[in-house]
Amino acid sequence: MLNQLMNDFNKLITEAKNWQNKEEVEKREELKELLGHKPIEVFFGALLGIILAITAYNFINPTLY
What's this model's pTM, rounded to 2 decimal places? 0.46
Distances (CA, A) of 30 to 8, 13, 17, 25, 61: 15, 14, 14, 9, 45
**Radius of gyration in angstroms for the set of CA atoms belonging to the chain, rounded to a whole number:** 20
pLDDT digits (tens, 9 = 90+) for 10-31: 887 887 787 778 788 877 777 7
CA distance 22 to 14: 13
Task: Cite the DSSP H helix spans in the chain.
Answer: 2-17, 24-35, 39-60
Give me the mean pLDDT over the 35-41 stretch: 81
Query: At residue 7, what is the residue type?
Result: N
Instruction: Give residue 64's pLDDT.
Output: 57
